[in-house]
Amino acid sequence: MDAARASLPESVGAIRREIESLERRLRWLRREFEQDAPLPETIEILQCVSGDAHIGVPLANIERVVGIARLCPSNDAQPWLRGLLDIRGVMIPVVDVGMRIGKPARVVELGDLVVICTTHRARVGLWVASVLGVMEVQTATLDRNVPELMGAPYLLGVAVVNGHATYLLRNDGLLDVVDSPTEA
């Protein structure tokens, strides 16, 4: 009986690792399916600015926009995960969306905003400098052959919106570190 109890924590750890592996595989398969799914003819976006990058967030995924507040530290080692924002007792991870698409890190400034979005898994906050407004993008105009899109399942493509190259986000995947089912 003691031998069985001693091996129990080891078994629990192995089961947790297997569950994490299966969850990564499921996220990867879901992204593969979503990337192959046809896009609607138009997408309504909230056009935002983060540093020198213009970002388009699908309006359907937006819950609200709030002023940035003091962020709680996150244990995550990803530099683009800037911290956690407490919204009515719920901790929401805040992503520096500019860094997530390869732009340099920014310093929080007075007036910065967090766009709270829902994904298939959770809520996520997107840290931006400003919001320009709601726009409609014809998906036929999306450029999906941009180097930044390679290995970035959270990007739908790049479109010119009001004269600016705008990265259109797919909110699912913004928090995922693992981009393929074989990575640990």
| DSSP bridge pairs for 86 | 91
Q: How far apart are CA 117 and CA 94, in angstroms?
A: 10
Q: How far apart are CA 180 and CA 184, in angstroms?
A: 9
What dihedral angle (degrees, nearest 10) is formed by the CA atoms of 49, 172, 136, 142?
90
Q: Give the pLDDT confidence score for residue 65 in this predicted structure.
A: 96
- Residue among 123, 131, 24 at smallest CA distance from 67: 131
Please state the φ and ψ torsions of residue 40, each to the nearest 5 degrees: -65, 165
- Residue among 42, 69, 67 at smallest CA distance from 135: 42
Query: Could you tell me the pTM of the whole model?
Result: 0.72
Tens digits of pLDDT across the chain (184 residues): 566 556 666 777 778 888 877 777 776 666 555 555 677 788 899 999 998 899 999 998 899 999 988 888 888 768 888 889 998 888 999 989 888 888 888 888 889 999 999 877 788 999 999 999 999 998 888 887 777 666 677 788 888 888 898 988 886 666 665 333 333 3
Residues near 135 by Cβ (< 8 Å), separated by ≥ 6? 44, 45, 46, 47, 56, 161, 162
Longest alpha-carbon distance in the chain: 71
Mapped onto helix, strand or coil, the DSSP state of residue 148 is helix
Fold topology of 40-169: OB fold (Dihydrolipoamide Acetyltransferase, E2P) (2.40.50)
